[in-house]
């Protein structure tokens, strides 16, 4: 019974050795130029002294709507991959089925566009 897990154990050991070795080699060959400016905190390239406002500021709801729309359309595009893999076996019916699917996606996209959900400001 334990001999069945030897391959898995070796795979984990090789992966851990590779990760550790990569960090070790990177630590040995990287340049070390400590500088106090590099240690300063920053937010998106803006020095912390220049920031104004509270960190717990509320975001506008459009930010979340845009993020949800991105996720929805991104997940819908994932459904195209299995179709593309099985395209030869599906034939003309599969083509028309995917055209209907893409048409529904485009209708949803244009609906969101007309409603102004894609406007950032």
Element (H, E) at 47: strand 46-47
Does residue 120 belong to any structural domain of this protein?
A: no
Mean pLDDT is lowest, of 5-14, 88-97, 111-120, for 111-120
User: What's the number of domains the chain is made of?
Assistant: 1
Report the distance separating Cα 13 and Cα 114, nearest Å: 55
Q: Identify whether 23 is part of a domain.
A: yes
Would you call 39 helix, strand, or coil by DSSP?
coil
> In the structure encoding, which two tokens stand for residue 56, read together?
């717990």
Q: Is residue 98 one of the residues assigned to a domain? A: yes
Give the structural domain span for 80: 2-115
Per-residue confidence (pLDDT) for residue 47, from 0 to 100: 59
Question: What pLDDT digit, counting tens, does each position of 15-54 carry?
Answer: 999 999 999 999 999 988 888 877 776 666 555 555 566 7
pLDDT in the model for residue 112: 85
In the numeric block, which tokens belong to residue 77? Answer: 């595009």
Distances (CA, A) of 44 to 14, 82, 120: 37, 38, 19
* Helix ranges, the chain (H): 6-29, 61-78, 80-85, 87-115
The pLDDT, as a whole number, for residue 108 is 87
Q: What is the CATH number of the domain that holds 89?
A: 1.20.58
């Amino acid at each position: 019974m334990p001999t069945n897990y030897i391959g898995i154990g070796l795979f984990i050991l090789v992966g851990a050795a590779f990760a550790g070795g990569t960090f070790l080699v990177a630590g040995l060959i990287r340049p070390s130029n400590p500088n106090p400016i590099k240690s300063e905190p920053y937010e998106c390239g803006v020095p912390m002294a220049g920031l104004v406002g509270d960190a717990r500021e509320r975001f506008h709801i459009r930010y979340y709507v845009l993020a949800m729309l991105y996720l929805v359309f991104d997940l819908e595009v994932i459904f195209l991959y299995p179709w593309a893999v099985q395209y030869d076996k599906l034939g003309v019916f599969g083509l028309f089925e995917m055209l209907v699917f893409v048409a529904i996606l485009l209708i949803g996209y244009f609906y969101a566009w007309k409603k102004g959900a894609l406007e950032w400001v």
